[in-house]
Chains A and B, each alone.
Chain A
Amino acid sequence: LNRHVLSFFTLAVFLLLATGSTDTKNAPSAEPNTPDPSSRSAAEDVRATAAALFTSRYARSNLASWNIRARPAGADCGVLLVTIGATMDDSIIESLHYSSDVYEGGVEHFYHERTFRGVVYSDASGHRWRYGLVSASEAENASPC
């Protein structure tokens, strides 16, 4: 009997572990016009990897001292949130976004290519800039997903 109890307990623990692999974006209450859950999940994987590579690339560039880091953000993880450990101004952000210093075509090209819908830059002072399909309120509240 003890072994049956132990077996049951073991099975329960494993099933609990398995629930961790449930994709929270698969909930039936998701917006009706959202893409297929499986393709969303794959796209989010691509974005998470892309953001990490972005961080790694900038850490090895001549802008490394700015401590530029990227993470997917937004409710759908579709926004590239770029945090910069220095105070920026409009012209520097614009240069960062469009110049090909680190990425060919700039961040503008990078975010389109990696299926992000927009970019939010946040500097050390907390000031934010947005590009692409990101509303002002979303930009202000964007946090890593």
Chain B
Amino acid sequence: MTIHVALPVMVGAAIYVSWRSPTLLLFRWFRVAEVWPLIQEWRQTVAAMSDSLPEWFIYSIPDALWVYALAAAMNLIWEGHARRAATPWLICAVVAGCGGEVLQRFGGIPGTYDARDLLLSGCAWLLALVIVPAGQIPYGGNT
């Protein structure tokens, strides 16, 4: 759980906190929690690194890590159970992760559609299905 869920979430969150726009809702939460000065200090410390980081790392990897962690969490919750019991939740994970991007593509929600986000998130979802131990019984059995 730590490696496949908590770690990706923490890495993604660290990227957001370090290099993403200060106008994100996340930063409003930090202001409410009165940790914004600390966060600002941290952002100033690591700001220079952003020049050497590729754009996809800052803008696409956090979303992919989020999808990976969610799919991994679902897989782990349903470990040892029939895959079909977990299937609706795994589909929820990919819809939650990639659905927003698809809606942005067709103007359903505000934001900028990026095929790279979609591709990386899709790959992250597949990766979680492949490498995270999940339903040991392909179909049927204990649900």
| Residues in A9-25 with C-beta less than 8 Å from chain B | 10-11, 14-15, 17-25
Given contacts A11-B92, A52-B43, contact A20 B24 (CB under 8 A): yes
Question: B47's closest neighbor in chain A, by CB?
Answer: A52
Candidates B9, B47, B110; contact of A17 at CB < 8 Å: B9
Q: A52-B44, A52-B48, A145-B23 are in contact. Are A21 and B73 (CB under 8 A)?
A: no
Q: Kindly state the interface size class of chain A when it binds its partner.
A: 35 or more
Q: Which residues of A contact B125 (CB under 8 A)?
A: none
* A26 touches B (CB below 8 Å): yes
Given A10-B74, A14-B66, A49-B51, decide whether A23 and B21 contact each other with a Cβ distance below 8 A.
Answer: yes
Report, as a range, how many residues of chain B touch the other chain: 35 or more
Instruction: Report the nearest A residue to B26, measured CB to CB.
Output: A20
A144 to B85, CA, bound (A): 49
A-B contacts counted at CB < 8 A amount to 106
Query: Cβ of A40: which chain B residues have Cβ within 8 Å of it?
Result: 23
Additional A-B contacts beyond A7-B92, A11-B93, A45-B19 (17; CB < 8 A): A10-B70, A10-B73, A10-B74, A11-B70, A11-B89, A14-B66, A19-B25, A20-B24, A21-B16, A21-B20, A23-B25, A24-B23, A40-B23, A44-B22, A45-B21, A49-B47, A53-B47
Give B residues with C-beta under 8 Å from A. Answer: 9, 13, 16, 19-26, 28-29, 40, 43-45, 47-48, 50-51, 62-63, 66, 69-70, 73-74, 77-78, 81, 85-86, 89, 92-93, 96, 110-112
**24 A-B pairs (CB sep. < 8 Å):** A3-B85, A7-B74, A7-B86, A10-B73, A10-B77, A11-B89, A11-B93, A17-B9, A18-B96, A20-B26, A21-B20, A23-B21, A26-B110, A26-B111, A38-B112, A42-B21, A49-B19, A49-B48, A51-B44, A51-B47, A52-B45, A56-B47, A56-B48, A77-B23
